């Protein structure tokens, strides 16, 4: 079961958690961001995407193929379904297109990561041997 929540206010600042986790579930991302004074980041403007890409480039976990990554709050409710943000708005539309998604996991993909190149990797909620920071935002 996933906890969905509404944002009250506007995200004014993107940040990446100091802590890392292997659990990309919406509930855990909310917990990780909350522990550092934020909420899971919803990327709905080009400016937030630029900020998020820079954060991942500077502080994301280095993965194979020379990419850095961080957990992103986009999620699926079922395998091969549409990705949504925590406020239940669709990911595809404002900033991202279907071409921005990359299948990085075999099996059930309900979580996501943002790569430093701005692409979204579909991921398992708990991939093996991967601890990543979480992209978050501060609401003012």
- pLDDT, one tens digit per residue, over 28-56 is 999 999 999 999 999 999 999 999 999 99
Neighbouring-strand partners of residue 76: 83
Cα–Cα distance for residue pair 18/32, rounded to 1 Å: 9
| Domain assignments of the chain as residue spans, ordered by start | 11-139
Cα–Cα distance for residue pair 22/17, rounded to 1 Å: 13
* 103 pLDDT above the threshold of 90: no
Cα–Cα distance for residue pair 120/116, rounded to 1 Å: 9
* 82 pLDDT above the threshold of 90: no
Cα–Cα distance for residue pair 140/127, rounded to 1 Å: 33
pLDDT of residue 5: 47
Q: CB-side exposure of 70: number of CA atoms within 13 Å?
A: 32
Instruction: Classify 15 as helix, strand or coil.
Output: strand
For the residues of 39-92, what is the DSSP string, one character each? EE----SHHHHHHHHHHHHHHSEE-GGG-EEEEES-EESSTT--EE-TTS-BSB
Q: Give me the CATH topology for the region 11-139.
A: Mannose-Binding Protein A; Chain A (3.10.100)
Cα–Cα distance for residue pair 59/2, rounded to 1 Å: 27
Instruction: Classify 16 as helix, strand or coil.
Output: strand
pTM: 0.86
């Amino acid at each position: 079961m996933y906890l969905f929540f509404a944002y009250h206010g506007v995200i004014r600042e993107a940040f990446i958690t100091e802590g890392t986790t292997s659990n990309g579930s919406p509930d855990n991302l909310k917990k990780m961001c909350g522990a550092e004074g934020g909420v899971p980041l919803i990327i709905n403007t080009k400016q937030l995407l630029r900020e998020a890409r820079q954060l991942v480039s500077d502080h994301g976990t280095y993965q194979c193929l020379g990419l850095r990554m961080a957990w992103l709050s986009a999620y699926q409710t079922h395998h091969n379904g549409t990705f949504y943000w925590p406020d239940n708005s669709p990911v595809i539309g404002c900033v991202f297109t279907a071409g921005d998604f990359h299948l990085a996991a075999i099996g059930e993909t309900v979580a996501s990561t943002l790569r430093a190149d701005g692409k979204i990797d579909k991921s398992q909620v708990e991939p093996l041997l991967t601890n990543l920071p979480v992209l978050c935002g501060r609401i003012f």
